[in-house]
Amino acid sequence: MDAARARTIWRMLDGRDPAIVVMILAGTKVCALVAEILWKCSLVNRHKLCDAPEESNGIIERALMLRMMPIFWAGYRTPLRTEHLSDLDTKLKNAELRPAEKGPQRKQAPIKLAKEIFFSHIVEFLAPIFPRLCYLALTFSQPFLVRRAIDYISKLKTDSSKERGDGLIAAYALVYYGIAFVSSLYEQKAVRATTVVRADLSMRIYQQSLLLDRVVDSTDSSTTMMTADVERVQLGVRKIHDAWASFVSVAIGLWLIEVELGLSALVTLALIGGSLMLGGYWSGRASRFQKNWMEAIEKRLHKTVQVLKGIKSIKQMGASPSIKTMLEGERQSEIRLSKRFRLQLIALVTLSFTSLTMLPALGLGLHNATSDKSSGQILSAQTAFQVMTLFNIVSSSIQDCTSHVMAIMVGLGSLQRIETFLNQHTWSDPRKAMREESIRTDESSDGVMSEKVFTDVAVKLQNVSAKWTEDGEAVLKEATFDVPAHGLTVIAGPTGSGKSTLLRVVLGDLAPSSGAVSVDDTQVAFCDQTPWIANISIKENIVGALPFYEERYRMALHACALDQDIEDLSDGDNHLCGLNGQSALARAIYSKATLVLLDDCLVGLDTNTERHILGEIFAPRGLLSSAPTTTILATSSPRYLPFANYIVLIDSEGRVVRQGTYAEIAPHIAQLEHDVLQVSDRSATERVPRADDSVALPTAITNDITFKKGANGDWGVYKWYFGIIGYMDFAVFLFLCMLFVIGVTFPQIWLGLWTEKSLQEQKDTLPSFYGVFFGVGSMAWVALASACVWLFFRIAVRTAALFHHLILTTTLNAKMEFFSQTDSGITLNRFSQDLQITDMELPLAFVGATMNLLMLIAQCIVVTIQSHYAGFAILAIAIVIGFFHEFYLRTSRRLRVMDIEARSPVLSLLLESLDGLATVRAYGWAAWYLRRGIEVLERSQVPFHFLQSAQVTLNLSVDLFVATLALVVICIAVVLRNTSGGSLGLALFNIVGLGQSVKGVVFFWTSLEITLGAVARIRDFTQDTESEHVSDVKPALEWPSRGEIRFNNVTLTHSASLPPTISNLSLDIKPGSKMAICGRTGSGKSTLVNSLLGLVQVSSGLISIDDVDISTLSKDEVRSRFVVLPQESLILSVSIRDYARLFGISDDQEIVQGLKKTGLWQAIEQGGGLDMIVSSDTFSHGERQLFAMTLACLKKGKIVLMDEPTSHVDNDIQTQLRQRVFDTFPESTVLCVTHQVATIVEFDTVLVLDDGKIVEQGDPKELLRQPTSRFAQLYSAGEL
């Protein structure tokens, strides 16, 4: 600006002194600018490198996005990885923890969270305002430049001032290049605001998830909010400043139009006002419908999580086809709800383009009808194209208003959902401390169990009753007893008596409905009935947040019989995932906690391993017995009673019936086993809520970014996608888009020709002027609406269902090896993030890219026709921008994949911590998990921020391209002077629109390329994931008719990379025989049974049933012909009736009679009968196995497979269930994996395995009479 002033003063004044002073001032400012640009990081701190370029870059470097150049270059040369990305500055990287408000639910304020977010990041929110105002001012300079240029060309014959031409060129350069730089600075600041809000909300959600009172109510909502809702909020934040600027732009534009057209602008004002009001109304409706859609997504994801957790049980029971039907039904319901939102979106898009098609027709038409026709022309080229440029700006602003307001409203809807979640009741410790000094917080102890003074009583319960729901019946009733300090206290009772509930009360996870609980220490070690294993190595699972002590660690491993198992692993204790209950118990021992709670955590172990653990832990010199530790063990089995220092017996009604030492209880044990340790058939069953107990999610976490071939992009992805949507449907959509572009472009050409006419010719052609403008504009409006309907209601709906079908089918058909090697967060990400992208982002990018590309082609043709030399400039610049775009895409695709993949650890950690929330709180590890959450969130921030910055860089390159093209056109017009005012006006007007079109093409095409990364991930997943199905041959309907099973020299392994679990095994099982399979843990018992179900690999040999090689048959068909009782029961949020139908049982009377036989019907009937929804708190562990047994016994089959099906129930129930199986399947072949001698002796045959080989087989009763038999030796040694 100083240079322009100096030039003006130099020419205007005779004296050169003022001009010289101004030039010296300008030079001084240039020197200051250079000093500002210079790299000063080493001067600030010589001993510290500036890892975050954004903190050290000057304004010029920031405006030109120079910090992105090394990243683009690295991405172009090699596959981009995390180490190529520079660090973020402190504000963007750090996720801030805020004090959590605990206790009762806070009073909700609709905009409280929005205010908190705004004032927490007020600098980031306000920073974009100034550059956005500068951008607005430069934008409205364009119509004046168009008018001045046309006026200059029109007056060349009378005024050929070279200075005016040079000034015009300089003005164009200043305005258009200024737009590029100011826009870049604005977008960077908007990206910063988006990034900090993303981190803030994600951290709030994760922090609240760790504080919730009931984890069962938060798992699905937390995952949905962490993905879909945060995504929508950050999009709304990105559009806040564009929204208010669009309203300001509309107001300024209307005022300028009124200056040119007078009262004719009132009609356009009415149209714009109506559009804005309708847009606001439809945006509100869209927000409500979007909320319903999000709830449907949440419901589907909740069931998907349950399926992923229970995938092994699903495969074992042959329920994959039924599960697939159920989840696809949920997806169809979700798609139906999405249509209402899509309809509002189509209405908004169509409405926003109404101004583009109708505003010029109404405004110019009314002006022409009311203007003074005695002048030289009805409408001059200067006025026409200045007004058209203003109409273009106003129309674009109205479109932006509509889309931005909708994005903000949708974001506010998601923010309200998040706020509701954050306002939920949080957990507070209901326990009382026996002494104030015994209370410690997570923050002060940092998860380390510190030394303390002990008392004679560790836990005191006074008239404690507890229930899991406010309106439910008490599960534990008026319990009063003291737990002595030091030693083992056993809480014994029948299945469903309230033992686990009592432990949860002592743990503080459940507040008693009456009475009081006092503890000597509020931080305890806890082992749940279903062991919680985190997504980390065995060693990290055991040590957790505590300091590592080698000797203590080795003692814990040996005590839990883990040392030998770890030695057998190739990567030792660095192996991902723990070894179930033994690892959880080792964690409790290592913690050195003074209070240890064990919820029947030793079930499923062979007797030898169990005896070893009991001896090492509870023997007189055991680790827990000899330490100042109080241990409380809840169990239904009487075999732990001799180890107890104190015993509390609970009856089936949840009441304490007897307590005392073992010596006091021993004389009554026989009677007590009959009266107390038996099944509970009462209506109020014990219900222990958790995220889901069925099977722990596969936990092989992936830290490095996984790159697929689709991440680099190839035309094969487009071909595959077009094959999905259908070539004919695409052709129809393309035709409608072409009609729209013709309807928008042709009136401009018509206006340019019409303004060249004389006054009389304009009068004569007024009707045709109106007809062309209104007719063609209406055609464009109808074509746009039709194209949107065709895309969103035909193409998008079909692809949404098909993509989900492909992901679901591939997941259900995958081998079990896939689930053990793939992080659960990655798999869940496919059902959430990838589908979210293909559902909404991909269709929007598709329609945007298509429309803008066709519009760009039309505008380039118009500019080239009106300014021939500009065509060469367009071609040259397009080549340059094309190279840069390709250069950019290699990096942006990678960044998009990195962004998606970086979210997987966040989801994995969220699911992991929610799944084990009771354990995390018990050990006082909440602070540790918060730190882990900060770490994974900060890592996910890096690719997200650089992806957004890459898009800003691309927009900058487009703006520079438009500026260069505008400069070329005006230079040609000024230098050659061989064009008319109308032609130049048409060319310059199209340059204004061409800039928007180029930016739209690049933005939407890039978005399309990036969103197609999700399509590529789906394609690669479906093509690269190995299916377990090698045959789809269905056996005969009556197969198996006999139930004969034959293993012929079979070698089995869980993975090709692992050694065989069973080697060269041959076995014949006669039809109708009842065989028990036993052996120590890890001997291959479950592997043998799972081989019949196709869950392990048969490396060699042959398995046949009724002389049919099962490897030649469909695995789902084979599994469906068996009756299977897995060790862990599947939990799905469906009704009892629908649950039974998943397994082929549809007769209501049969279901009711079966439930009555197992004593479960009374509780189910009170809960709603067969319509009662099953959830994780419907049944206790033992009752889940009873429920599974009930459904299994209603199914018909010649082969029954049981894998520790009664591990969580007491002896009476075990006897009852075993007898029921024998009575229900008298002629069927039964194979049962078990460790219990009382169970084994009832079978015809026992098979003893050791190290994957058969060591003995025969009648169990006969073998027990033979002292030399291996089975008898195991029994005598207490190893069974």
Task: For residue range 365-422, list pLDDT tens digits in order.
Answer: 666 666 655 454 556 666 777 777 787 788 778 777 777 887 888 888 888 888 888 8
What the block records as the tokens of 735 is 């035709």
Q: Quick check: do 39-424+703-1024 and 432-521+530-675 share a fold?
A: no
Mean pLDDT of 576-590: 78
User: 39-424+703-1024 in CATH: which number?
Assistant: 1.20.1560.10
Q: Is the pLDDT of residue 675 over 70?
A: no
pLDDT at 687: 42
157 falls in which pLDDT band (50, 70, 90)?
low
Closest alpha carbon to 331 in 803, 655, 662: 803
739 falls in which pLDDT band (50, 70, 90)?
very high
Closest alpha carbon to 1022 in 822, 805, 1184, 867: 805
Map out the domains of the chain as residue ranges. Answer: 39-424+703-1024, 432-521+530-675, 1045-1113+1179-1276
Residues 6+ apart with CB under 8 A from 659: 481, 646, 647, 648, 649
Strands (E), 444-593: 457-466, 476-484, 487-492, 514-519, 525-527
Helix axes 17-37, 2-12, angle to 10 degrees: 170
Per-residue DSSP letter, 462: E
Range with the poorest average pLDDT among 544-548, 994-998, 1124-1128, 1223-1227: 994-998
Q: Which helix (H) or strand (E) holds 1247?
A: strand 1245-1250
Pairwise CA distance, residues 1191 & 1189, whole Å: 6
Candidate CATH numbers 3.10.20.740, 3.40.50.300, 1.10.3720.10, 3.30.420.340; the one for domain 432-521+530-675: 3.40.50.300
Pairwise CA distance, residues 1268 & 1173, whole Å: 53
Range with the poorest average pLDDT among 133-137, 308-312, 993-997, 1039-1043: 993-997
Bridge partners of 646, per DSSP, are 489
Task: For residue range 1231-1268, list pLDDT tens digits in order.
Answer: 998 877 667 888 889 998 888 889 999 998 888 888 88
Q: What is the mean pLDDT of the chain?
A: 79
What the block records as the tokens of 417 is 């959902």
Q: What percent of the residues of the chain are helix, what percent strand, and what percent coil, each to the nearest 5?
A: 65, 10, 25
Q: Burial, 837: exposed, middle or buried (Cβ in 10 Å; 0-12, 13-18, 19+)?
A: buried
Pairwise CA distance, residues 49 & 626, whole Å: 54
Residue in the structure block whose two tokens are 């026409």? 384
Residues 6+ apart with CB under 8 A from 608: 1080, 1274, 1277, 1278, 1279, 1280
Per-residue DSSP letter, 1093: T
Report field, pTM of the whole predicted structure over 0.85: no
**The CATH number of domain 1045-1113+1179-1276 is 3.40.50.300:** yes
Q: Burial, 1157: exposed, middle or buried (Cβ in 10 Å; 0-12, 13-18, 19+)?
A: middle
Q: Sign of dihedral through CA atoms 215, 220, 223, 228?
A: negative
| 1045-1053 and 1062-1069 beta bridge pairing | antiparallel
Q: Is the pLDDT of residue 1070 over 70?
A: yes
55 falls in which pLDDT band (50, 70, 90)?
low
Pairwise CA distance, residues 148 & 127, whole Å: 34
Better pLDDT: 1230 or 33: 1230
Cα 1155 versus chain centre, distance: 38
pLDDT at 133: 94
In percent, how much of the chain has pLDDT > 70?
A: 79
Whether residue 1040 is preceded by a cis peptide bond, meaning omega within 30 degrees of 0, is yes
Bridge partners of 1173, per DSSP, are 1135
